[in-house]
Amino acid sequence: MFISDRDTIAAISTAVVNSGISIIRISGEDAFPIADKVFKGKQSVMDMTSHTVNYGKFISMDGEVIDEILLLKLDGPKTYTRENTVEINCHGGVNVTNNVFHEIVKAGARIAEPGEFTKRAFLNGRIDLSQAEAVMDLINAQTDTASKIAIAHLQGKFSSAVKEVTNRIVDVSAEIEYHIEFNDDDMDGPTMGRLVASLTECSNRLKKILDTYDTGKIHREGINVVIAGRPNTGKSSLMNEVLGSDRAIVTDIPGTTRDIIQDYANINGIFVNISDSAGIRETGDVIEKIGIGKSYEAAKNADLILYMLDLQSDLNSEDIKFLEMFKDKNILIILNKTDLVSQEQTKQKVSAIRCETRHDPVTLSLKSGQGIEGLYERFKQMLHPGQADPKNQAIVTNVRHKNSVQTAYQAVNEAIRGFKEETPVDLITIDLNIAVHQLGLITGETASDDIIDRIFSSFCVGK
């Protein structure tokens, strides 16, 4: 089927579950005539005042009453998509929601593609591409800070910073082009000095933006934490403690956990993807071996490894092998079961672990709860992503933006080097054009249709 940006589209914008209310959105040139076919109230949809809510009955194309609804009429361009828009609030049952939606499609609307409403907001100039991406960031945000960063992006904080740098680069490039066109002489020293100063300011701004990426990425995507160690050291108990629920099965039988168990937690305002892994040991059990292999694979992709040890046992060859294999990773060694040994034995074991591994372990008892607060304090220290101030700084949160800023930064620095090495100015403009193009990819001004389609394909239907 041919899909056109001029089609009138419709989608269920709320989750299709039994709930109080469902919202179905219609957008496009024929939104009002389509809604008029299925709505019966005191006045027709065509005669309603814009931005008003109207009560009435939803009628099927066969004349049957399907539901009682509230209909919101919104005249473009003062809408999310800048098109004529109708939002129907019906009862939230799965069956009634689907019935209402199917009748809207029968009345002439096309089922919207994922992210198509936001894509139209972008194509119609209401928001730029980075603002569009912020819509999904806000929907997916798991912490207050992540929400604040997404809101700042949605309001154009990041875009404005990018556009300010872009405009300065364009101004330099335009001056060079003017010189090439109307002057036969070489560019004089004061002019070159002024242009280099302007590009240096651009470089500094891009570097400042680029330096926010590690912080922004953590707040947007979270931190991957893997709990590893030998069987019966308390890995699953730690998982349950962090989650505040019995997510993992806990027994005294070695090898109980055979596959990766994943869940999510908010620890001190940081979104954490936490995984419990199979106990690491030599085994002849084929299934357990597969689970142990997955443990090593999960550790490779972890931002932080929590390595569990039993205070009653010494380091063995499996522990040493694991810690050596991941020596370049961020590792926190946890000595569990302080309730089963004396304080003196605990001190001796801590000293021995420090000497053998060069790690500073924490001690606790997951059974009694002793030392749990100390663990969370170390969590806070190790997971802290840096200060994020979305109101006062442009923060890079995704790798697409980071790559474009980095390439633009490198291109600007190449242009500066070109000036200092007296490279022909027409060659310098090539680097400046690269920088402008890369920054335009962020806001969408230079993004290809393939890039745009790929971004919006990751959106949920109805947004």
For residue 41, the cross-strand partners are 56
Q: How far is CA 220 from CA 126, 133, 316, 334, 397, in A?
A: 24, 12, 38, 28, 6
Scan for tokens 């041919």, then name that residue. Answer: 2
More confident residue, 279 or 432: 432
143-147, 260-264, 309-313: least confidently modelled range? 260-264
Alpha-carbon gap, residue 144 to 263, rounded angstroms: 19
Averaged pLDDT of the chain? 88
The string over 86-117, giving b where at least 16 C-beta atoms fall within 10 Å of a residue's C-beta and e elsewhere, is bbbbbbbbeebbebbbebbeebbbbbbbbbbb
Phi then psi dihedrals of residue 24, to 5 deg:
-115, 130
Q: How far is CA 353 from CA 230, 297, 357, in A?
A: 16, 25, 6
Phi then psi dihedrals of residue 82, to 5 deg:
65, 15
User: Angle 318-323-328 (CA atoms, 0-180°, nearest 5)?
Assistant: 155
Residue 154 host element (H or E): helix 144-154
pLDDT digits (tens, 9 = 90+) for 80-99: 999 999 999 999 999 999 99
The string over 41-76, giving b where at least 16 C-beta atoms fall within 10 Å of a residue's C-beta and e elsewhere, is eeeebeebeeeeebebebbbeeeeebbebebbbbeb
pLDDT at position 165 is: 96
The alpha carbon of 454 is separated from its chain's Cα centroid by a whole number of angstroms, namely: 15
For helices 317-325 and 286-300, what crossing angle results, to 10°?
40
How buried is residue 426: exposed, middle or buried, by Cβ count under 10 Å (0-12/13-18/19+)?
A: exposed
DSSP states along 249-303: ---SSTT---S-EEEEEEETTEEEEEEE-PPP-----HHHHHHHHHHHHHHHT-S
Alpha-carbon gap, residue 450 to 463, rounded angstroms: 19
Cα torsion at 394, 397, 403, 407 (round to 10°)?
10
pLDDT at position 286 is: 66
Read off the pLDDT of each residue in 279-291 and give the average, rounded to a whole number: 70
Domain ranges of the chain: 9-112, 130-212+392-457, 222-383
Write down the CATH number for the domain with range 130-212+392-457.
1.20.120.430
User: Would 9-112 and 130-212+392-457 be classified into the same CATH topology?
Assistant: no
More confident residue, 80 or 388: 80
pLDDT at position 269 is: 75
Q: How confident is the model at residue 314 (pLDDT cuts 50, 70, 90)?
A: confident
pLDDT digits (tens, 9 = 90+) for 331-368: 999 999 999 989 999 899 989 889 888 889 999 998 88
Instruction: Decide: helix, strand or coil at residue 28.
Output: coil
Q: How confident is the model at residue 1 (pLDDT cuts 50, 70, 90)?
A: very low
| Secondary structure (H, E, C), 314-341 | CCCHHHHHHHHHCCCCCEEEEEECHHHC
Contact at 8 Å (CB) between 56 and 40? yes
| Whether pLDDT at 183 is above 90 | no
- Under CATH, what is the fold of the domain 222-383? Rossmann fold (3.40.50)
pLDDT digits (tens, 9 = 90+) for 135-144: 999 998 888 8
| Whether pLDDT at 248 is above 60 | no
**Percent above pLDDT 70 for the chain:** 92
DSSP states along 43-76: S-GGGSPTTEEEEEEEE-TTS-EEEEEEEEEE-T
pLDDT at position 424 is: 87
Among 335, 387, 338, which residue's Cα sits nearest to residue 357? 335
Alpha-carbon gap, residue 289 to 244, rounded angstroms: 29
Scan for tokens 């003196």, then name that residue. Answer: 344
Write down the CATH number for the domain with range 9-112.
3.30.1360.120
Alpha-carbon gap, residue 135 to 153, rounded angstroms: 9
Read off the pLDDT of each residue in 208-227 and give the average, rounded to a whole number: 89
pLDDT digits (tens, 9 = 90+) for 250-263: 444 444 454 678 88
Residues 6+ apart with CB under 8 A from 27: 8, 9, 10, 79, 80, 81, 83, 84, 85, 86, 112, 117, 120
For helices 189-210 and 157-182, what crossing angle results, to 10°?
160
Tokens for 294, please give them.
Answer: 């997955």
